[in-house]
Amino acid sequence: MSSVAHDHAHDHAHDHGHGHHGGYGGIMRWITTTNHKDIGTLYLWFAFIMFMVGGAMAMVIRAELFSPGLQIVDPDFFNQMTTLHGLIMVFGAIMPVFVGFANWQIPMMIGAPDMAFARLNNWSFWLLPFAALLLVGSLFVPGGAPGVGWTLYAPLTVQMGIGMDLTIFAVHILGMSSILGSINIITTILNLRAPGMTLMRMPLFVWTWLITAYLLVAAMPVLAGAVTMTLTDRHFGTTFFNAAGGGDPVLYQHIFWFFGHPEVYIIALPGFGVISQVIPAFSRKPLFGYASMVYATSAIAILSFIVWAHHMYTVGMPVTGQLFFMYATTLIAIPTGVKVFNWVATMWKGSLTFETPMLFALGFLFMFTLGGFTGLVLALVPVDIQLHDTYYVVAHFHYVMVAGALFAAFAGIYFWLPKWTGRMYNEKLGQIHFWLTMIFFNMIFFVQHFVGMAGMPRRIPDYPLMFETWNKISSLGAFGMGLTQLLFLYIVVKCIRSGETAPQKPWEGADSLEWTHLPTPVPYHTFETPPVLK
Amino acid sequence: MNIESQNRLLSRKLAIVAAAMFGFGFALVPFYNQICAALGVNSIEEKDQVVNTQVDLSRTVTIEFDSNAHNMPWRFQPTVRYITVHPGELATVEYEIVNVRDAPVTGQAVPSYGPQIAGEYFKKIECFCFTQQTLAAGETRRLPVVFVVDPKLPKDVNTIAVSYTFFEVAGRGGKS
């Protein structure tokens, strides 16, 4: 390791001072940067800010649902909150946080000096704040933000005010950013691997991102098409989704979910990748069944394109259609089961330790599997017709989105923060953050299974008295979980500013290139000469 | 080939994939219509074929009629609120439309049924909803719906609400 550090200083001291960042300082450094590490940092902070904004909206939702009846916000505003909460968390928080990981980690894990298109990378990021401004700004136009739900279903979307147009443009820009980012990631992985880094030697995080990027390139344009149709229906006299002109609102649902189901895996797969790095590191064993993990991930990605209508069993499709989508959906349980099995088998007879990244990985494993099981329940047509649009569905997708994707993101941040900053976070506070998040998360969402099965519909600001107790528990959990994330902010800022110096290799079992071939903290430029792989 | 041109080539291929998938979203529109036509679902504008005209005198079904004109300058209502029929019996009701705008207006009616399951047993032989209707300024028109309730209607359905909503068809036969 020390020899690599020496090589680096030797190679680059002449054109960059140590740790200096090209031509600009201050804010201009961040606006003009083309360095994958800077852009990764920008993505991560952007995602965190959006996580807080979307989280604040969730607090409004839970505050209103604390008691039956209407007390804090009017139903219109409540609908706007559910819509923006969904859009912001999916497109503003979860997707960017994993693009942030991709930017930081992929070049280092495959031994590349930077992303393939560094300037495009800068542009992919800087599209995001404008999209976020349009989304949040739609709250302040006449009529407010759209109150249609994050799925933007026609025909409601055709009737909304100009906030809807802002949202459509925001989705266009977000899609553009994701597609450009994905093209960049695929090109980097396929063309810039160090000699000897064959595809089947890549860390699994890189594999999951390669597959995710393909999903993004294939699925995001379909969403762009769907919202473009909504836009022309609204303003240019087309009738894609208007029954009077020969269109059909159900068609929107088909197009949306053709994008929407791959999107679910776009969110989940990079998280799987992070977990597949963390669990072996803290088990001090290589990942069990590496090749089967790669094939399982690919199988999930391919299956994700033929299951979309399980989100819409109740639209009146023929029974044959329902059966096809039911069987295809339950089929996904097989590759997902392979992955869960492999993670558990990785820990089998390993020398486990339970630092914060591992705790979050284990939390992910338990909670994501639970969410997977409720997904299987919902995949079954007769059950789903009962549970469609109830809180059971809300509980299900939060188990896979929050305890799946978000827990994986926390695991990744605690795992790589020492590498990125050269400082350790406070282990004790990290573990407190984990336990509080875990407890409050289950307080919010576990009880929602009960109210959902009892018939409480989602996206409605009021509910019958009999659901009050569970909703109170859920709301208290939500406030707790919101506050806990301020602790996370404190831990990260404290780590960056005054954490203890991290050892060269803080995690004994970590074995990808960034741990074995680079010093801690990683220098600003890495692998300008490719590493030698045995 | 050097690495830059390899990168450019790959990115161009991927951009083509993205553009093609954007087109694919639009290609789903005719594809969806074809599938629906092939499976015989979603055929609100088509005449139903009535094969069994056996009248089931042992039970009666109440048919309630509802009407809406969605943001349209039309007064639109059924001439009767409800009728009672035996399953299998041919029945006719009339709706009246008045165009209160001083310009021609074209509209399309879309039916819906409550309970939803009754829709497939409500067989329309003639309906103003099969075509777009264009009314001249101030015109009044009475339009029939001729239907048969399929005797296979589930036994627990005693009442069917039939609701028509007229939507204005923009840019045809009038301003919008």
Q: Does B30 touch chain A (CB under 8 A)?
A: no
- The whole-angstrom separation of Cα A384 and Cα A378 is 5
- The whole-angstrom separation of Cα A180 and Cα A123 is 9
Q: What is the DSSP letter of A456?
A: P
Predicted local confidence at residue A532, as pLDDT: 86
Give the Å distances, CA to CA, from A261 to A135, A257, A301, A397, A514: 22, 6, 10, 12, 33
Return the residue in B10, B12, B14 with the most chain A beta carbons within 10 A, the one to mutate for interface testing: B14
Amino acid letter, residue A292: S
Phi and psi angles of residue A301, each rounded to the nearest 5 degrees, phi first: -65, -45
> Which of A192, A217, A240 lies at the smallest CB-CB distance from B17?
A217
Least confident of A148-152, A310-314, B111-115: B111-115
CB contact under 8 A, A222 and B169: no
Q: For residue range A39-63, what is the model confidence (pLDDT) as tens digits?
A: 999 999 999 999 999 999 999 999 9
Return the residue in A180, A187, A214 with the most chain B beta carbons within 10 A, the one to mutate for interface testing: A187
- The whole-angstrom separation of Cα A222 and Cα A227 is 9
| Per-residue tokens: A186 | 């695929």
Mean pLDDT score, A482-492:
97
Banded model confidence at residue A20, pLDDT cuts 50, 70, 90: low
Q: For strands B90-99 and B140-149, give the pairing.
A: antiparallel
N residues, chain B: 176
**Structure-token match 């008691």, residue found:** A67
Give the Å distances, CA to CA, from A483 to A56, A441, A469, A472: 10, 12, 22, 17
Q: List chain B residues with CB under 8 Å of A179.
A: 18
- The whole-angstrom separation of Cα A250 and Cα B48 is 22
**HEC per residue, chain B:** CCHHHHHHHHHHHHHHHHHHHHHHHHHHHHHHHHHHHHHCCCCCCCCCCCCCCCCCCCCCEEEEEEEEEECCCEEEEECCCEEEECCCCEEEEEEEEEECCCCCEEEEEEEEEECHHHHHHEEEEEEHHHCCEEECCCCEEEEEEEEEECCCCCCCCCEEEEEEEEEECCCCCCCC
Indicate whether A13 pLDDT > 70. Answer: no
Interior/surface letters A151-173, b for 16+ CB within 10 angstroms, e for the rest: bbbbbebbebeebbbbbbbbbbb
Least confident of A148-157, A479-488, B112-121: B112-121
Q: For residue range A181-222, what is the model confidence (pLDDT) as tens digits?
A: 999 999 999 999 999 999 999 999 999 999 999 999 999 999
From A82, A178, A230, A520, the catalytic residue: A178
Predicted local confidence at residue A329, as pLDDT: 96
CB contact under 8 A, A243 and B110: yes
DSSP-derived 3-state class of residue A233:
helix
Indicate whether B37 pLDDT > 90. Answer: no
Interior/surface letters A103-123, b for 16+ CB within 10 angstroms, e for the rest: bbbbbbbbbbbbbbbeebbbe
- The whole-angstrom separation of Cα A347 and Cα A283 is 5
- The whole-angstrom separation of Cα B80 and Cα B63 is 10
CB contact under 8 A, B25 and A226: yes
DSSP-derived 3-state class of residue A519:
coil
Q: List chain B residues with CB under 8 Å of A224.
A: 22, 25
N residues, chain A: 534
DSSP H or E stretch at residue A439: helix A427-453
More confident call, B173 vs A32: A32
DSSP H or E stretch at residue A424: strand A423-424
Nearest Cα of chain A lies from the Cα of B5 at a distance, in angstroms, of: 11
Nearest Cα of chain B lies from the Cα of A247 at a distance, in angstroms, of: 9
More confident call, B70 vs A272: A272
- Average confidence score pLDDT of chain A: 93
Q: Does A389 touch chain B (CB under 8 A)?
A: no
From A29, A458, A472, A494, the catalytic residue: A458
Strand order through the sheet with B133-135:
B82-85, B61-70, B159-168, B105-114, B133-135
Predicted local confidence at residue B44, as pLDDT: 63
> A251 exposed, middle or buried (CB, 10 Å; 0-12, 13-18, 19+)?
buried
Predicted local confidence at residue B52, as pLDDT: 65
Predicted local confidence at residue A17, as pLDDT: 42
Is A339 one of the catalytic residues? yes
Contacts for A48 with CB less than 8 Å, ≥ 6 apart: A93, A97, A489
Percentage of chain A modeled with pLDDT above 70: 96
- The whole-angstrom separation of Cα A511 and Cα B148 is 73
For residue B40, what is the nearest residue in chain A, using CA coordinates?
A: A318
Nearest Cα of chain B lies from the Cα of A116 at a distance, in angstroms, of: 7
DSSP-derived 3-state class of residue A476:
helix
Is A472 one of the catalytic residues? no
For chains A and B, CB pairs below 8 A equal 99
DSSP H or E stretch at residue A475: helix A468-498
- The whole-angstrom separation of Cα A449 and Cα A395 is 6
Nearest Cα of chain B lies from the Cα of A246 at a distance, in angstroms, of: 9
Q: For strands B61-70 and B159-168, give the pairing.
A: parallel
Predicted local confidence at residue B45, as pLDDT: 65
> Which of B21, B166, B168 lies at the smallest CB-CB distance from A221?
B21
- The whole-angstrom separation of Cα A257 and Cα A259 is 5
For residue A179, what is the nearest residue in chain B, using CA coordinates?
A: B18
Give the Å distances, CA to CA, from A288 to A77, A189, A350, B100: 49, 23, 11, 74
Predicted local confidence at residue A81, as pLDDT: 96
Indicate whether B5 pLDDT > 80. Answer: yes
What does pTM read for this prediction? Answer: 0.88
Tell me the β-bridge partners of B159: B62
Predicted local confidence at residue B176, as pLDDT: 39
Q: Does A236 touch chain B (CB under 8 A)?
A: no
Mean pLDDT score, A477-486:
97
Q: List chain A residues with CB under 8 Å of B19.
A: 221
**HEC per residue, A82-98:** HHHHHHHHHHHHHHHHH
The answer to whether A347 and A284 have CB atoms below 8 angstroms apart is no
The answer to whether A261 and A186 have CB atoms below 8 angstroms apart is no
- Write out the DSSP string of A327-381: HHHHHTHHHHHHHHHHHHHHHTT------HHHHHHHHHHHHHHHHHHHHHHHHSH
**HEC per residue, A491-507:** HHHHHHHHCEECCCCCC
Predicted local confidence at residue A350, as pLDDT: 95
- Write out the DSSP string of A282-296: HHTSPPTTHHHHHHH
Q: Does B14 touch chain A (CB under 8 A)?
A: yes
**Structure-token match 């030697």, residue found:** A201
Peptide bond into A503 cis (omega under 30): no
Q: At what angle do helices A290-303 and A204-235 cross, to 10 degrees?
A: 10
Predicted local confidence at residue A7, as pLDDT: 43
From A41, A64, A83, A114, the catalytic residue: A114
The answer to whether A214 and A177 have CB atoms below 8 angstroms apart is no
Nearest Cα of chain B lies from the Cα of A252 at a distance, in angstroms, of: 9
> Which of A183, A246, A317 lies at the smallest CB-CB distance from B14?
A183
The answer to whether A457 and A390 have CB atoms below 8 angstroms apart is yes
Q: Which of A337, A308, A342 is nearest to A325 (CA)?
A: A308
Banded model confidence at residue B171, pLDDT cuts 50, 70, 90: low
Q: Which of B79, B61, B144 is nearest to B109 (CA)?
A: B144
Predicted local confidence at residue A159, as pLDDT: 84
DSSP-derived 3-state class of residue A25:
coil
Q: What is the DSSP letter of A423?
A: E
Predicted local confidence at residue A4, as pLDDT: 42
DSSP-derived 3-state class of residue A517:
coil
